[in-house]
Amino acid sequence: MTSLWSVTLATMVKDIRLEWRSKDALNSMLFFSLLVVVIFMFSFDPLAEESRHIVGGLVWVGFLFASVTALNQTWARELRNQVLDAYRVSPAPANALFLAKVLGNFIFVGVLEALMTPLFVIFYNVRVLGPAWQLLPIAILGTWALVVNGTFFAAMSLRTRSREIMLPLLLFPISIPAVVSMVAGTTSILTGEESAHFYIVLLLTYDVVFTTACLALFEMILHAE
Amino acid sequence: MSDPSISIITVNNVIKQFGRFAALRGVTAEFDAGRFHAILGENGAGKTTLLRTLAGLAQPTRGAISIFGKTPRDACRDMGYMAHPSLLYDEMSGMENLRYYARLYGIDGNGRCEEVIRIVGLDPELARPVGQYSQGMRQRMSLARAILHDPKLLLLDEPFSNVDVQSAQAMVGLLKTMRDAGKTVFVITHQASLLEGVADEFVWMHAGQIVDRTAKLTRAAAPGEDVR
């Protein structure tokens, strides 16, 4: 019997191994995020008080755009040599593939965030005035929201001719509630003006709803022609 | 071992359309267990579409397919599928590929992976990524992947393409051994002469239909058909 978790683990390990060897997604994500840091550093005075209000949006927009690269890449490698067909003819559960891709992307985007956050802090001279620990649930729930929808819509646009364009067109509008929560939550923690509790609950609800919906629909997407 | 007298595959009036183009036009056939079926026909005859439909990768627009009394997707555990592309990750070695696929079938350990790699005549110790294999090696590794879970039914799409004659003959010998062990084998090929004296049946396709089924490699052409 092929269990959901053993296939999920095997697929995730395989994806991490492939990424480690090629570094396609990580390199392009890092390059894009670095570009965002540098360009915006020159476009306004990072020492100003306003930076505390702006940097939340800047960070998440940077991560959102950068993660699209990884999300496209994650399915693109399943198209080479039609390896996805080998999965489709196996008795492995469809959701194991989806969960593995989501967890893999979560790790890749998490690594990016761990590497880039100190740069944002240094270059934009960020001082947290609110409860700093609340940034952790915002980061985890926000990243999950991005990758769960991103992985799903990347799979959906897999068989379309211009899938690189299709993914942002599908992903960005549906991510608006999550992105707004991430930005507003981060800004309220950085400025210490209001509690981020509401945004954390909103993100949690968003994650539960969309993870459930994606898991319910993924088998249909996988076997669609 | 399968009983050769029992039909394990029933294809009932299957039509497969891609937009307005019908790749399969009302295919009806029954195939017995433990036999070697060679599927022949010109390009565009519907051979690959038929095989993909049997494998459950394409859904018939109309009609039904039963394999071991189940739908193709439910019968996937008993089926091994080899496509024209390798279905292997180029960045991983053959052994890494097979270890991953073994997990999809609930096979633990390296024993079975090493065994099938040796069966197809390759070395399990080969550390090179599959992307650096020759075309012949890749085809053999692809066959190893298809037989990894010891399926009762093998669906192979052009397994001998770009393979030298010696390797192709070795692959035919292996498939013959598997047929003799009771497996049912379907092979699409343009190198039909390789299967002369080995295949139990030649299934001739033309314009999305099975036009003939013969025990020998020769047959008379249907009107408007090019028989090579």
Please count the other Cβ atoms lying within 10 Å of the Cβ belonging to residue B19: 5
Find the mean pLDDT for residues A168-192. Answer: 93
Residue ranges of the domains in chain B?
A: 35-57+74-214
The pLDDT assigned to B228 comes to 47
Pseudo-torsion of CA A19, A21, A26, A27, nearest 10°? -150
Measured distance CA(A86)–CA(B71) in Å, rounded: 18
Nearest to A21 among B79, B91, B100 (CB): B91
Mean pLDDT value across residues A179-195: 92
Encode pLDDT of A108-124 as tens digits: 999 999 999 999 888 88
Given a cut of 50, the residues of chain B with pLDDT beneath it are 1, 228
CB B184 within 8 Å of CB B2: yes
Residues of A in contact with B186 (CB under 8 A): none
Average pLDDT over residues A206-211: 97
Say what the pLDDT of residue B138 is.
Answer: 94
Residues in chain A within 8 Å Cβ distance of B91: 18, 21-22
A80 interaction partners in chain B (CB closer than 8 Å): 89-90
- Residue B222 is predicted with a pLDDT of 54
Is residue A56 pLDDT above 60, yes or no? yes
Q: Please, what is the average pLDDT of chain A?
A: 91
Euclidean distance between CA atoms B145 and A205, whole angstroms: 42
Q: In chain A, which residues touch B (CB < 8 A)? A: 1-3, 6-7, 10-11, 14, 17-18, 21-22, 77, 80-83, 85-92, 223, 225
Chain B residues inside the 8 Å CB shell of A83: 87-89
Gap between the terminal Cα atoms of chain B: 35
How far away is chain A from the Cα of B155, in angstroms, using its nearest Cα? 11
Chain B, nearest residue to A76 by Cα: B89
Write down the CATH number for the domain with range B35-57+74-214: 3.40.50.300
* Inter-chain residue contact B103 with A6, CB threshold 8 Å: yes
Tens digit of each residue's pLDDT (9 = 90 or more) over A15-29: 999 999 988 888 999
Nearest to B55 among A80, A87, A89 (CB): A89
pLDDT value at position B79? 96
Which residues of chain A make contact with B85, given a CB cutoff of 8 A? 81-82
Q: Which residue of B has its CA nearest to A12?
A: B100
Domain enclosing residue A129, as ranges: 4-222
The shortest C-alpha distance from B217 to chain A (Å) reads: 31
Number of domains present in the structure of chain A: 1
Report d(CA B80, CA B77) in Å as an integer. 8
Residues of A in contact with B57 (CB under 8 A): 85, 88-89
Show the tokens assigned to A71: 């999300």
